[in-house]
């Protein structure tokens, strides 16, 4: 999967995202999976491993499609993301 999303930082603290429709539809599916998983957690007071996997995929898609970066000095599995234009954003390798 390639990331064809273009993130442009505009004046007045606005951001413009341009992405393929297919990627946008994947985010919509992920959003619906998130809604369903949260609903199930509320109803059953539990989480299914299948739902956990869906949440993990959604996290990766948000990071890739929205251009989030790891903070410099953090490894790829831990730590929070920052905006790609953040001074501490880890450069692509």
Strand boundaries in the chain, DSSP class E: 6-10, 14-18, 69-70, 81-82
Residue 1 pLDDT greater than 50, yes or no: no
The residue among 1 and 64 whose pLDDT is bigger is 64
Entry pTM = 0.68
**Residue from 3, 7, 5, 57 nearest 31 by CA:** 57
Query: Under a CB-based contact definition with an 8 Å cutoff, are residues 19 and 1 in contact?
Result: no
pLDDT tens, position by position, 28-79: 888 888 888 888 888 888 888 888 888 888 888 888 888 888 888 776 666 7
Query: Under a CB-based contact definition with an 8 Å cutoff, are residues 68 and 83 in contact?
Result: yes
């Amino acid at each position: 999967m390639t990331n064809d999303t273009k993130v442009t930082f505009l004046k007045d603290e606005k951001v413009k995202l341009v992405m393929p429709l297919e990627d946008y539809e994947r985010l919509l599916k992920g959003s619906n999976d998130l809604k369903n998983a949260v609903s199930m957690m509320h109803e059953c007071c539990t989480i299914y491993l299948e739902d956990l996997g869906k949440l993990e995929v959604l996290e990766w898609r948000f990071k890739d499609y929205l251009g989030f970066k790891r903070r410099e000095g953090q490894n790829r599995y831990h730590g929070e993301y920052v905006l790609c234009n953040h001074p501490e954003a880890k450069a692509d390798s």
